[in-house]
Amino acid sequence: MSDRFEARRKKLLQLLRNEGLPAMLVTSETNVSYLTGFTGDSSYLILGQDLAVVISDSRYTTQLKEECPTLDAVIRKSDVTLPQASAKVLRKAKVSQLGFEGQNVTFELHQKLGAALPGVELVSLSGRIENDLRAIKDADEIRDLRLAVQFAARGHEFLRATLTPDMTERQAAHELEHAMRRFGAEGVSFTPIIAVGDRAALPHYHPGDLTMAQSPILLTDWGAQTRSGYRSDLTRVLVTGRPTAKLEKVYNVVLEAQLRAIAAIGPGVSCRDVDTAARETIANAGHGKRFGHGLGHGIGLDIHEQPRLSPTSETILQPGMVVTMEPGIYLPGWGGVRIEDDVLVTRDGHEVLSDGVPKEFEQAFVDLGN
């Protein structure tokens, strides 16, 4: 297991060599976990050509030995801050230049580091770990993401079978989370979005007290998190009553847009072009102004990672990237339809990891037992 983290650190060391930097201070908890396997918080990683040290505190003394047996650890005292403990290690190593995560380091932290490391040049490597390393998943990460999708799929299947007319959105969200945990998930990727009727027109709606019987439209946006921290992200619209012709038409436009975008995915394809495939389909159906967000995003340890698929994205897809495909049409006062799958970019095309979750309109019907 430790080999996967060592391989990631070697990639970061090569990045540092390319930049001519002797060391980097990693302050993002997610990136520390990605590079070391450590699952605690309030810890930094210092990485250099002959330097690999986790800075933490006494709460994690045993945990660090168990999770990071090959790494050095500095356990700071309660009256010593993380920047102070890190600076001491860096001064001892006689580092003259130091890379840091510009997107994660606050102005205050930058000032503290500068004061504690006089004469050391601080060089921002903003987003490099996310863009150059984490965006392309290794075999272990892809395995974990497959598992996250499986947990989510089983949880949603259970929810479909247990919906009742008087169940509220909030109750459905709780049932879905409980089911995924029961099937093996560590938890949810994010608070599930369970939206009935016109609430489905709110892309980031918080489940409330509307019941399943109040509208035939039920949007569910959910995901499961594995023990290792990897997350899935799916969306389906269920039809819980008599559908209208409008619902069927909007649904099939969104589905067509998604299928065209998925078909466009492959190595060497730009994220913008994939987004365009979906966006043009929705625009041609007269709903262009009702699809206001990007087509998708990467998933992994965070629910939103690189790459991003949008009209402005210049990123070129590469094998190992895992992205969501989630076009939508949102009509205020009526409702909305969004269909989302998790897709792996392969050497010769793509694989829909969530292909087993039904999404044809005829498969969306649910009998509430009225």
Yes or no: say if 54 and 71 are a contact pair by the CB < 8 Å rule. Answer: yes
Residue with tokens 């102070």: 84
d(CA 161, CA 169): 15
- What pLDDT is stored for residue 370 in this prediction? 59
What beta strand segments (E) does the chain contain? 23-26, 44-48, 51-57, 72-76, 97-100, 121-124, 187-188, 193-196, 217-222, 224-225, 234-239, 296-298, 305-309, 322-325, 328-331, 335-338, 341-346, 349-352
- 217-222 sheet: strands from edge to edge: 193-196, 217-222, 234-239
Point out which residues pair with 329 in neighbouring strands.
Answer: 337
Kindly give the parts of the chain with pLDDT less than 50: none
* Strand 51-57, strand 72-76: pairing: parallel
- Look at residues 247, 141, 264, 266 and name the one whose alpha carbon lies nearest to residue 201: 247
Fold of the domain spanning 139-363: Creatine Amidinohydrolase (3.90.230)
- What pLDDT is stored for residue 348 in this prediction? 96
Contact partners, residue 15, CB within 8 Å, separation at least 6: 125, 128, 132, 133
Query: Percent of the chain having pLDDT more than 70?
Result: 99
Yes or no: say if 215 and 335 are a contact pair by the CB < 8 Å rule. Answer: yes
- Look at residues 249, 254, 216, 248 and name the one whose alpha carbon lies nearest to residue 235: 254
CATH classification for the domain delimited by 2-134, as one of 3.40.50.300, 3.40.350.10, 3.50.50.100, 3.40.50.10300: 3.40.350.10
Structure tokens at 160: 């479909």
Structure pTM? Answer: 0.94
Yes or no: say if 186 and 225 are a contact pair by the CB < 8 Å rule. Answer: yes
The ranges assigned to domains in the chain are 2-134, 139-363
HSE toward the beta carbon, residue 274, CA cutoff 13 A = 35
Yes or no: say if 110 and 122 are a contact pair by the CB < 8 Å rule. Answer: yes
- Distance from CA of residue 190 to its chain's centroid? 9
- What pLDDT is stored for residue 3 in this prediction? 87
